[in-house]
Chains A and B, each alone.
Chain A
Amino acid sequence: MILRRFEMYSFEGAPEAAAGFARAASECARYIPEVLHSAIGRISGAPPLNFAWEQAYASPESYCRYMVHPYHAALLDRYLMIDSPECILAGNALGVGLIGYQAEPEEFFLPSGARRVIAMQLREGAEADFAALAAANLGEDGMAVSVFKDNWFGARWFDAETIVDPNPMHSHIWEQGFASLEAAEANNSSWRSEAESLTDMMVEMVYAIEPGFGYATPAG
């Protein structure tokens, strides 16, 4: 099992500052080797969200080493924490600042192409039906990755163990992968009506994958 994590942001301000965070996120694994499968993306069509960072961690211990690393506090958080004078984060109420799940790395591994990540509040009792929907769409209309899991990380963002937020806004995540952004955008309708019928709300983010340092193999 591996810990899959997403940070989805609304950035505002000078383009140079957003580029600074993009560079810091892309290079993160060079300085914190515990950060695996790191890639960024520019979210389109989901305003105000405009930036995605996806990563993974081999264990809660690996995640904690990331959390206490000076690179995290001094460089990444420079752009993300409102108490930092260099913060570029614009507030939103979409609840996708930190979401994620537990999975096998082979399930989501995709160092190029595009993602669609859907964070959702699933309707009571709909988990099995949504899991069947996600499984049925794997391999259909260009969907090369289809992982449906509960939003395990949303409640455990501090150390990947302790529940610090017992009621994150989103209960589940559907991560999709495609060979290209065009393929992701083309795959847009076959699953949508059923997905909407099984959820109370969905936040959908699509982006081309820009692989970061070291994103090459499922092992790391």
Chain B
Amino acid sequence: MNFAPVHIVDTASVAPAHALHYAQLIREQLAPVMRDAGAPMIELRRTSDQLGEDVLVQVVWNVEDHAAWNRVRRNFFMDPRWHAVWAEIAPLRRGGTRRFFYPMLEGAEA
């Protein structure tokens, strides 16, 4: 299996009243930090807030491979902006998952 590129898929469970604010923080404050660290955001989406349950907000970051992710991780960890924005974002989450995916649309399963 070729583990590249890597899509880091973070799916957060958020109260419906906080979903737009959560997504705004991701889009406007976190995404620039992640881009500068080397991991551009390639997806940001949510589920409906008309379901009587938490909204799932899903963000997808893209990196070349796991070695690149290791460098990105060091870069954002050393960036005070990353810590500041997560101090705002983390309390809004009520659960969720992080999974690493490898695109297969182009037959990268070798």
Contacts and interface: CB of A to CB of B under 8 A. Distances in A.
Interface of A: 67-70, 73-74, 77-78, 81-87, 158, 164
Given A74-B100, A83-B82, A85-B95, 8 more contacts: A68-B66, A68-B70, A78-B98, A81-B98, A82-B86, A83-B98, A85-B11, A85-B98
> Which of B70, B90, B100: most chain A Cβ within 10 A?
B70
Contact of A86 (B66, B69, B96, B100): B96
Contacts, number: 46
A59 B65 CA distance: 22
B66 A73 contact: yes
Nearest to A162: B74
Chain A, interface SS category: loop
B93 interface: yes
Contacts of A81: 73, 98
Q: Give the interface residue-count category, chain B.
A: 20 to 34
Nearest to A83: B86
Interface of B: 3, 10-13, 66-67, 69-70, 73-74, 78, 82, 86, 90, 93, 95-100
Contact of A69 (B13, B66, B95, B99): B66
B90 A82 contact: yes
B97 A85 contact: yes
> Which of B93, B96, B98: most chain A Cβ within 10 A?
B98
A87 B10 CA distance: 12
A85 B74 contact: no
Nearest to B85: A83
Nearest to A66: B70
B70 A83 contact: no
B99 to A, nearest CB: 7
Contacts of B74: 158, 164
